[in-house]
């Protein structure tokens, strides 16, 4: 009789563990697949060794290490990246995604991990134009589906030209095919201030004219992944790892 009671108790404990999770870390050993459009330096891009690198990559990798889970990045084109998330092709999108009310209707977000703003890049010889309304009658480029493109589209008299990759917009600007590019300020700085090809011919004008926050997008209702990533982000912030990565990539 005692053996039967003990066996029943063991089965009950095992069942409890299955449904509630008895491990110290619920995320331990779990692997998530993360899509990123690696065309957005210094946040995410492909280096000379064909590796996906950048601030976002280092940040989420550090969060995964601290949170006890694994992460695998998949280079994914921006124009279909959210559709792939909804179709369960991957677990999350970490790709300089601005948290907006519109996007929150169709996906969930982790806590914000960095603040940015939209910035205007022009050729160095252009003077006296530092605000977006001044570009009415001009052609301004941005990556398709980004908040930069959304901001340009607010002005009916500005011709918006969209690109699959921001680098293509920057190249067109340098060749004089368009009059300006609008993009996130870290990306603007990377091209106009650091890139040896574009630094001699491009400049940033004005100051960032939006206030935005990046978050990691997760399929709607997937609370497990949101909580897991948030826990990892909290740990790296507590240790100051996020600030170290900002100094490495964004300063």
Over 60: is that where the pLDDT of 109 sits? yes
Both tokens assigned to 248 = 């490495």
Which residue's structure tokens are 């589209």?
Answer: 153
* Start-end of CATH 3.40.190.10 domains in the chain: 25-115+213-249, 118-210
Pick the CATH number of 118-210 from 1.20.140.90, 3.40.50.2300, 3.40.190.10, 3.40.50.970: 3.40.190.10
Fold entry, domain 25-115+213-249: D-Maltodextrin-Binding Protein; domain 2 (3.40.190)
Which of 26, 30, 147 has its CA nearest to residue 92?
Answer: 30
Q: Is the peptide bond before 42 cis (omega within 30 degrees of 0)?
A: yes
104-114 average pLDDT score: 97
Residues 49-82: tens digit of each pLDDT: 999 999 999 999 999 999 999 999 999 999 999 9
Q: Mean pLDDT across the chain, nearest whole number?
A: 91
Helix locations, the chain, DSSP H: 2-20, 55-67, 81-86, 147-153, 166-174, 185-189, 223-238, 241-249
Residues 6+ away with beta carbon under 8 Å from 82: 93, 103, 106, 107, 217
Distance between CA 190 and CA 217 in Å, rounded?
24
> What's the confidence (pLDDT) of residue 24?
38
Strand, helix or coil at 209? Answer: coil
Residues 134-167: tens digit of each pLDDT: 999 999 999 999 999 999 999 999 999 999 999 9
Distance between CA 54 and CA 45 in Å, rounded?
6
Over 80: is that where the pLDDT of 222 sits? yes
> What's the confidence (pLDDT) of residue 29?
73
For the chain, helix, strand, coil in percent to 5 are 40, 25, 35
* Residue pair 91/34 in contact by the 8 Å Cβ criterion: yes
Give the pLDDT band of residue 243 (cuts 50, 70, 90): very high
Sheet with 44-46: strands ordered across? 39-40, 44-46, 52-53
Give the pLDDT band of residue 7 (cuts 50, 70, 90): very low
Looking at per-residue pLDDT, the higher value among 4 and 39 belongs to 39
> What's the confidence (pLDDT) of residue 11?
40
Over 60: is that where the pLDDT of 1 sits? no
Cα-flanking dihedrals φ and ψ of residue 79, to 5°?
A: -65, -15
Distance between CA 65 and CA 24 in Å, rounded?
15
Residues 10-56: tens digit of each pLDDT: 444 444 343 333 333 555 679 999 999 999 999 999 999 999 999 99
76-105 average pLDDT score: 97
* Residue pair 228/67 in contact by the 8 Å Cβ criterion: yes
Percentage of residues in the chain having pLDDT higher than 70: 89
> What's the confidence (pLDDT) of residue 28?
61
């Amino acid at each position: 009789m005692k053996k039967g009671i003990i066996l029943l108790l063991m089965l009950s404990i095992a069942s409890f563990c299955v449904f509630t999770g008895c491990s110290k870390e619920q995320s331990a050993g779990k692997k998530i697949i993360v899509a990123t459009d690696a065309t957005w330096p210094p946040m995410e891009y492909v280096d000379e060794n064909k590796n996906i690198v950048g601030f976002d990559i280092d940040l989420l990798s550090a969060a995964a290490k601290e949170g006890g889970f694994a992460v695998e990045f998949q280079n994914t084109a921006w124009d279909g990246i959210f559709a792939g998330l909804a179709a369960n092709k991957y677990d999350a999108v970490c790709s300089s995604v601005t948290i907006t009310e519109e996007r929150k209707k169709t996906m969930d977000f982790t806590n914000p991990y960095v603040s940015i703003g939209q910035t205007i890049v022009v050729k160095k010889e252009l003077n006296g134009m530092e605000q977006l309304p001044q570009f009415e009658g001009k052609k301004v480029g941005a990556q398709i589906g980004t908040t930069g493109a959304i901001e340009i589209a607010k002005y009916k008299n500005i011709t918006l030209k969209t690109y699959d990759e921001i680098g293509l917009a920057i190249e067109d600007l340098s060749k004089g095919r368009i009059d300006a590019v609008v993009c996130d300020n870290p990306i603007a700085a990377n091209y106009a201030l650091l890139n040896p090809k574009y630094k001699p011919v491009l400049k940033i004008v004005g100051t960032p004219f939006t206030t935005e926050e990046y978050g990691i997008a997760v399929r709607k209702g997937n609370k497990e992944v949101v909580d897991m990533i948030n826990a990892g982000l909290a740990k790296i912030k507590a240790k100051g790892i996020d600030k170290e990565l900002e100094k490495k990539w964004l300063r």
